Structure 1
Amino acid sequence: MAVWLKFIHIAAIALWAAGIVSLPGLYVQRAHISKDQDLFRLQKIVRFSYVRILSPAAFVAIASGTGLIFLQEPYSGWFSVKLMLVGMLVVIHVMTGLVIIRLFEEGEVYPVWRFVTATILSGGVVCGILFVVLARPMVDFSVPPGFFEPGALKSMISKISPWPIP
């Protein structure tokens, strides 16, 4: 069961990541289109890619990854870093959807500097996920002693607060 779920997870992540990295290349083409028919065709391709391919792949990737958490129990420091990077990929996914909504309004274009920035940022996040998953570096998230004891927050704040805490 875990093998098939991991296969589904990897395939969904690969599809999702490839789409997130490649969509800005389609956005840049918006500036070079003058005919309404060609603009409509580009809009149709971009929206189809986002709504019918990338978003379901993102959902399957996150759902299968959640299932793998319960099957394999990968509770270690590298896994926390991976989840942070996946959260960044989700934010990029949402921002991509917002760009698609505005991009095809009259007079809108996608500048080349945004294309370069978005591609480098999304590619960096994807490469970061690959590195963390494959290398599994030792990451230590140690906390000071007594950090999780009842009343610990009150004692920490009383050390830095200018007001007396009862």
Structure 2
Amino acid sequence: MIALLKGVHIAALSLWCAGLIALPIILQVYGRREEVRTQAGFSEFRLLVHAAYTRVVTPAAVVAISAGTGLIFAAEVRETWLMAKLLAVVGMVLVHAWLGHLAVRAAEHRGSYRMPPALIALPASLLCMGAVLYLVLAKPDFQPMIDALPHDFRVPQGRSIPSDLVPI
């Protein structure tokens, strides 16, 4: 079961990462071409970006995150490097969402909207992907850094929210 989950996770993650690299290039380079200035070229560009984002990249992200979550529970991994990896995955999700926003803006506001350069997403994606790859392969030990934190940061303080303030 774990081997199947790992295989699905790696395949979906590879597709998601490829999409996070390809989408900024498509938005930046293909979106600025002369052919896109015609109605037929713009329609083709819009359909390409929409199909890539909604039918390939987003489902791959959902499958990668779902399989990864299943792996966490199946393999019972609770290491500190995993928490750092999940933080890098959050960065990938934020880049993914921003690219979706740019795709919608590019489709709705042809010529009337000055879109920020989509290639800004490329270094952010590569940084997050590199961090995920490093953390998964190296599995660094963060315990010395955690031990260096002040005592109050490492130990529960025994405080909780009063029950009358918690919404039901």
Q: TM-score, normalised by structure 2?
A: 0.82
Aligned counterpart, 2:99: 96
Aligned counterpart, 2:3: 3
Letter in 1 for 2:26: L
Deviations 1:123-151 (A, max 9, x none): 11111111111111111234526731414
Uncovered stretches (5+) of structure 2, i.e. residues with no partner? 161-168
In 2, the alpha carbon distance for the partners of 1:58 and 1:121 equals 16
In 1, the alpha carbon distance for the partners of 2:119 and 2:52 equals 20
Matching of residues 56-67 of structure 1 within 5 Å = 56-67=59-70
Percent of aligned positions that are identical: 31
Contact 2:99–2:121 (CA under 8 A) maintained in structure 1: no
Uncovered stretches (5+) of structure 1, i.e. residues with no partner? 153-166
In 1, the alpha carbon distance for the partners of 2:114 and 2:19 equals 20
Pairing partner for 1:87 from 83, 86, 90: 90
Shift of 1:21: 1.4
Compared CA separation, residues 123 and 21, structure 1 to 2 (3 A): same
Compute the RMSD of aligned alpha carbons.
2.0
Q: TM-score, normalised by structure 1?
A: 0.83
Aligned counterpart, 2:155: 147
Contact 2:99–2:118 (CA under 8 A) maintained in structure 1: no
Contact 1:12–1:57 (CA under 8 A) maintained in structure 2: yes
Compared CA separation, residues 110 and 30, structure 1 to 2 (3 A): farther
Greater C-alpha Rg: 1
Shift of 1:15: 0.4
Aligned counterpart, 2:19: 19
Shift of 1:91: 1.0
In 1, the alpha carbon distance for the partners of 2:124 and 2:157 equals 39
Letter in 1 for 2:51: F
Question: How many residues of Structure 1 are paired with residues of Structure 2 in the alignment?
Answer: 151
Pairing partner for 2:43 from 40, 43, 51: 40
